[in-house]
């Protein structure tokens, strides 16, 4: 099937929008401990959604998984479990920092590490120093780290300017130091998703061999990766539920609020799953332009998560200077993503 980069970009943009929106429903959950909401969300986003999609789009799914190389299955699951730690800490960072900083900082770190680690592991890091594409890529990483530092400074200024009560009007559990540490872990561990996709490509190849449409070849791959992610998240949520004795939240309270809580978690999980679905579909359509996909995803998430941050008035009451620092940091992160894309474009030209 011929590629369609415009369709691919549209699908990847939708993936970014879905990612930026998924945490918003949690803002309206009432009477549930965080681990209870996150567990229901995880069942929808990492179990039901991916496996239902794989079952509907992949002929003979069982045979595909049985014939896929065991190494690919194991490594995609393991890297998925490691990514799951990043997803878990990202969720906690959003809890403590809000949608603006809670996305910008982990994404910047994830983009930097996702760019540097693969060539380092493959033993080709020196090529980054000796080619135009490599130097542009390294410059994009530096820009990304600068953007992260500027955003962190904006967060520190907000922390100084607002009282505890003011900070918690928009973010009920705002905690800058805890959120920044969680963002660091989230950025590092979330980069493992890239390794899971690379190591799991034989699963997608097996799906194609069994007659799967090219557009859906990645659905069984993401199902395995996200199963690993669910394993680590579920382990932590169950640990917290036992420690906090919060499992009773699932049946306690007025029926109307319970119904609303379940509905909000299902919406959040569905939005998150749409990210992996749309990105997997979009990647298959990019052809020689796959280098642009990751950057488009990063830019979309940064832009739309900050629109949500404005909607929830996360920066209300801060000075114009603080808002300017935030805007500058976000602009530098967007520039970093575009520089990464241009570096990948140069690499594709150098290979010809």
Find all residues with CB under 8 Å of 128, minimum gap 6, and list them.
119, 134, 135, 137, 138
Which domain does 132 fall in, by range?
A: 5-350
For 301-320, how does the pLDDT look when each residue is reduced to its tens digit (9 = 90+)? 877 887 777 777 877 888 99
Q: What is the mean pLDDT of residues 169-188?
A: 81
Least-confidence region, from 47-61, 73-87, 167-181, 236-250: 167-181
Query: What ranges in 162-254 are assigned the alpha helix state H?
Result: 164-170, 176-190, 192-199, 201-209, 219-244
pLDDT > 90 fraction of the chain, expressed in percent and rounded: 36
Model pLDDT, residue 348: 67
Model pLDDT, residue 289: 58
Domain count, the chain: 1
For 48-101, how does the pLDDT look when each residue is reduced to its tens digit (9 = 90+)? 999 999 999 999 999 999 999 999 999 999 999 999 998 889 888 888 888 777
- Cα atoms in the Cβ-side hemisphere of radius 13 Å centred on 18: 20
Model pLDDT, residue 336: 80
Q: How far apart are CA 305 and CA 19, in angstroms?
A: 8
With 70 as the cut, is the pLDDT of residue 37 above it?
Answer: yes
Q: Nearest Cα to 149, choosing from 183, 194, 172? A: 183
Model pLDDT, residue 160: 81
Q: Is the pTM of this model over 0.85?
A: no
């Amino acid at each position: 099937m011929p590629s369609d980069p415009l369709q691919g970009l549209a699908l990847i943009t939708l993936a970014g929008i879905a990612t930026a929106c998924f945490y918003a429903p949690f803002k309206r959950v009432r009477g549930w401990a965080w681990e209870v909401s996150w567990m229901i969300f995880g069942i929808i986003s990492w179990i039901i959604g991916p496996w239902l999609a794989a079952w509907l789009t992949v002929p003979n799914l069982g045979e595909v998984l049985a014939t896929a190389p065991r190494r690919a299955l194991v490594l995609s699951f393991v890297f998925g479990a490691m990514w799951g730690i990043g997803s878990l800490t990202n969720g906690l960072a959003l809890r403590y920092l809000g949608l603006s900083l809670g996305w910008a900082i982990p994404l910047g770190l994830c983009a930097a590490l996702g760019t540097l680690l693969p060539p380092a592991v493959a033993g080709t890091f020196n090529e980054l120093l000796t080619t135009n594409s490599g130097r542009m890529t390294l410059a994009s990483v530096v820009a990304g780290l600068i953007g992260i530092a500027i955003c962190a400074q904006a967060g520190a200024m907000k922390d100084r300017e607002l009282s505890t009560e003011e900070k918690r009007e928009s973010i009920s559990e705002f905690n800058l130091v805890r959120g920044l540490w969680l963002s660091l872990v989230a950025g590092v561990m979330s980069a493992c998703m890239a390794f899971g996709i690379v190591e799991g490509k034989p699963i997608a190849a097996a799906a194609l061999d069994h007659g799967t449409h090219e557009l859906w070849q990645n659905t069984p791959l993401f199902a395995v990766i996200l199963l690993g992610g669910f394993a680590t998240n579920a382990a932590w949520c169950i640990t917290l539920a036992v420690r906090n004795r919060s499992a009773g939240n699932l049946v306690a309270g007025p029926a109307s609020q319970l119904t609303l809580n379940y509905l909000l978690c299902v919406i959040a999980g569905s939005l998150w799953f749409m990210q992996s679905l749309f990105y997997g579909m979009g990647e298959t359509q990019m052809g020689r332009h796959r280098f642009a996909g990751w950057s488009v995803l990063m830019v979309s998430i940064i832009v739309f998560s900050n629109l949500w941050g404005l909607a929830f008035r996360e920066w209300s009451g801060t000075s114009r200077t603080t808002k300017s620092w935030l805007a500058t940091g976000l602009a530098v992160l967007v520039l970093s993503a575009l520089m990464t894309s241009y570096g990948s474009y140069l690499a594709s030209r150098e290979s010809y």
